Amino acid sequence: SYELTQPPSVSVSPGQTGSITCSGDKLGDKYAYWYQQKPGQSPVLVIYQDTKRPSGIPERFSGSNSGNTATLTISGTQAMDEADYYCQAWGSSTDDVVFGGGTKLTVL
Amino acid sequence: QVQLQESGPGLVKPSETLSLTCTVSGGSISSSSSYWGWIRQPPGKGLEWIGNIYYSGTTYYNPSLKSRVTISVDTSKNHFSLKLSSVTAADTAVYYCARRGGSYSSAFEPWGQGTLVTVSS
């Protein structure tokens, strides 16, 4: 079965740029999606189709996807960005859904 | 603006069947551009996709759960449902419903608030 691998944790200083990676076999041939989840809340979509931002998501969130790695980048990180982030792609077919294990982003 | 709300028992006994319903408001579950999905999250762990359903009734399930999962849709009530049979403590999780598709390609958005289901005797 298809797997997506994320680092368990990433730390970034306020105002700096933080990046979270998501790795999977030929992930660049698929679309990658990213979700932000704060404690006690439901996930929120922050990036879709590799690079696009849903309405209401700040411009400091950006994404890329190439080769075997998709990356979520947060520029000018703010304390409010501290959360768990999950990548998602399709698996063996476009109807099959796979989530990465999640990355805890700490802003300190 | 589409909103989703999960409902169902918060406590299920081992070996029994977990049953949840997701009610869609602010839009039609019969939208041709949308699938409707169930995702779960065990306490302190990551997200796990359970399955999707189209308004026509076409379903897609996580292979690891397929033998125990049934997702159905009732377009007259604008809701879809999840049944998970032969539950164990490992099925204890927050269960979310979400729309897949719409304006955001194959992404899940929006999500319901989630409902905690505990499997315990």
Contacts with B115 (C-beta within 8 Å, 6 or more apart), sequence order: B6, B7, B8, B10, B20, B94, B95
Residue B2 has pLDDT above 90, yes or no: yes
Using an 8 Å Cβ cutoff, are A75 and A17 in contact?
A: yes
DSSP category for residue A75: S
Per-residue confidence (pLDDT) for residue B104, from 0 to 100? 86
Taking phi first (over 0 means left), then psi (-120 to 50 degrees means alpha), and beta for anything else, what does residue B79 get?
beta
Residue A95 has pLDDT above 90, yes or no: no
Task: Give first-to-last CA distance, chain A, whole Å.
Answer: 36
Per-residue confidence (pLDDT) for residue A23, from 0 to 100? 98
Averaged pLDDT for residues A21-36: 97
Token pair recorded at residue A101: 């294990």
Place of tokens 């289901």: B117
3-state secondary structure of B78: coil
Measured between alpha carbons, how far is A76 from A71 in angstroms, rounded to an integer? 16
Quick one: pLDDT band at residue A94, thresholds 50, 70, 90?
Answer: confident
CA-nearest of B50, B52, B46 to B99 is B52
Quick one: pLDDT band at residue B34, thresholds 50, 70, 90?
Answer: confident
CB within 8 Å: B114 and A98: no
**Cβ neighbours of A45 in B, within 8 Å:** 104, 107-109
* Percentage above 90 pLDDT, chain A: 94
HSE (CB half, 13 Å, CA atoms) of B76?
0
Measured between alpha carbons, how far is B17 from A14 in angstroms, rounded to an integer? 47
CB within 8 Å: B113 and A44: no
- Of the candidates A42, A90, A97, which has its C-beta nearest B96's C-beta? A42
What is the average pLDDT score of chain B? 95
CB within 8 Å: A42 and B47: no
